[in-house]
Amino acid sequence: MNTISRSVFTMFLFDLTVLSISTFFWALFFDYSKISILILCILTTITGLIVLYLKGNYKIREFNITVKNTYLLFEGMVLAHVVPSVYLLIFSATVKDSVFIISNILTTFAVLRLYRIFFHLYLFKVKKEKNVLILGTDERAKIIADEIQNKYALKMHIVGFVRTGKDPDEIDDCIQDNKVPVYDNPQKLKEIIEQYGIDVVVISEPDENIFQIPRDIQICKIPDFYEMVTGKYYIDDETMTDLYYHYLTHRSRVYDFCKRAYDIIAALIILIVTLPITGFTALRIWLTDHGNPLFTQTRIGIDQKEFKCYKLRTMWANDYVPKNLQKGGYAENQDVDDRVIPWCKFVRKARFDEIPQMINILKGEMSIVGPRAEWSEVVKIYKEQIPYYNCRTWIKTGWTGWAQINQGHCINNDDIAKKLQYDMYYLKHRNIVWEIMILIKAIFMALGGRHD
């Protein structure tokens, strides 16, 4: 959606301008040298934009003003000044440095917050809604209507559904529940568009009458529209066939080589940097119950092949099987799981227990980014209950991924099905630059204890 892209770009430019100008002003005010002013501006601006991205400030489709968002923005500005603070500590280390940092944090936070308040008012009070017409009255149409109605920041209004010749004679109750008009004459599609000032036509069921749509009207197929507004892949028989064709015809040896190199480099860096944490955690686990701190579990990887996945043990020795497995359960709620050693709950939240999986990555059994490698026992359940679940193993499973940073830990089938949609979206759009950003965001979330 072009309007979404323009909003993101505008906010990004505004943030860049504020970070650089505020830093320049305060650095000049405190009489830093020209080279220090330049370095401080660069460090603060780059770090600030990265932090704002990692904290989801540019997800316009989910934009809103809450106390939590205010806190996250302030936290982001504090984190944005960590690197400049280190620079000043090394090359300056005077009292004025602290005053400069505090002044710049408060200024950038206040201005960015004020901008977001005005943007919120513009988005919800001033900006003109786009009128949307959905061509079709099937289940797809129902799903996309729900997405539009639940995401107010999209600023879209559903004018109605148009029944096509392929639609059933009886309109589903789910369509009628949306309290949106249903037009029964697709031959008058052009008249409907002109009468109600339609800006976007979303096509659920192809119909010969689409040729009536004027050229200046934006047209989207439902799977593409769904991806744009959710960041997930729309899964059904048709779209999965298309995705498999895309997967087979867009393989790249260059990408495969770069991804393998990226996996090896990233895994080695993570192993080396976290070695003190891993060693301390392993020692404390051993001291807790004198069990082996290293734990292996059979996971399902690429092409549904089994492999032994390495983890730090965070549960009491020999207490790994979910209590409700015999009743059809396959996971426990992490907040109330009494199998977990109490002090290891943060270890799990920060994902320190999964650092040994770097060994699996170096062996080529996993990748840094990809669909989560699941326990073989739960995979047996998922593939029977969730359509197309096995399709996520077309590629290597990952230590983190698009689904993990968006969905987190899941314990019921509905959430697992949504997670599959994120996995398929990643499979379709994956590229090295995006995978680096996913890794950075995953680490950022883990250090904050928010990567469940």
For the chain, give every residue range classified as CATH 3.40.50.720: 130-230
Residues 6+ apart with CB under 8 A from 226: 143, 144, 147, 232, 233, 234
- For the beta carbon of residue 98, count every other beta carbon within 10 angstroms: 13
Token pair belonging to 328: 């059809």
- Strand 156-162 with 182-183, pairing: parallel
Whose CA is closest to 146, among 136, 129, 155, 158? Answer: 158
Q: Report the greatest alpha carbon distance in the chain.
A: 78
CA separation, residue 134 to residues 233, 260, 312 (Å)? 19, 43, 50
Res 332 pLDDT > 90: no
CA separation for the pair 429, 262 (Å, rounded): 17
Task: Output the pLDDT for position 4.
Answer: 44
Q: Does domain 130-230 have CATH number 3.30.1390.20?
A: no
Per-residue pLDDT tens over the stretch 392-429 = 999 999 999 999 988 877 767 888 999 999 999 999 99
pLDDT of res. 178: 59
CB 382 within 8 A of CB 414: no
The pLDDT tens digits of the residues spanning 144-168 come to 888 888 887 788 889 989 888 665 5
pLDDT of residue 446: 76
Q: Is the pLDDT assigned to residue 309 strictly greater than 80?
A: yes
450: confidence class by pLDDT, cuts 50, 70, 90: low
**Mean pLDDT for the stretch of residues 360-375:** 94
3-state secondary structure (DSSP) of residue 309: strand
